[in-house]
Amino acid sequence: MPRYRLNIEYDGSGFVGWQRQANGVSVQQTLEDAVQAFSGKAVTLFGAGRTDSGVHALGQVAHFDLSRGFSPDKVRDALNFHVRPHAVVVTAAALASEDFDARFSATARHYLYRIYDQRPPLALRRGRVWHARGPLDAGAMHAAAQCLLGKHDFTTFRAAHCQAETPVRTMDVLQVARAGNDEIHLRATARSFLHHQVRSIVGSLHMVGVGKWNAADLADALAACDRTRCGQVAPAEGLYLTGVDYPISRDML
């Protein structure tokens, strides 16, 4: 039974998130319906990251199995035809080894969070960045963020309804830098993230950026392992899943 790997982009604004839900259209449902439309078979797609409503993706990865083989190019083109008019695109499709799993084979996930920190309202970037009143001190935000690197109990920065078995995660990369004159970009890399972890961290770093917190305050919030010590949770619209890493030997045939 052939297994296919998909690389996917989407604008999360019109979806209830990646995972199929009863209260609206999800990215998973849109793609599963597209697979059935061209192949005649009902399938389940397994994604590398269960992005929330409003969260975007530049490098989501998913896999599914079909009882009949098609060329990867046909799969890509057929899916892109049948997902219309939804804002989701399969940028690549490939045959994968039978033990490849988009979620469990992943060795790292990469996220970008975009903050617009000027006063004028947005036009073209509306819904794609967090319009946070500023200006923000990106240097102070980056310096404070370094206390979150490494292995920690991230209870302070997880959603109250997070279903992960443990709040312990290892943050490999956490960088904050100005991108042009009016945006600040936060880039985070870890093998896996807790529910709302990146958005919670961004909201707490915003407190540093406006001068209400310093690096010690952020470190104290982390050490407290107390959700009530977290800053505001940054809105979903600024968050992007930009890529997922896999071992080369298990990536594709």
Which residues belong to the active site? 52
Tell me how far apart the alpha carbons of residues 192 and 212 are, in angstroms, rounded to a whole number. 29
What is the H or E stretch that residue 81 is in? helix 72-82
Name residues whose C-beta falls within 8 Å of residue 143's C-beta, 6 or more positions apart in sequence. 215
Token look-up 């961004």 returns 202
Helix-, strand-, coil-residue percentages of the chain, each rounded to 5? 30, 30, 40
Backbone phi, psi, residue 36, to 5°: -65, -35
Residues in the chain: 253
Q: Which residues pair with 95 in a beta bridge?
A: 4
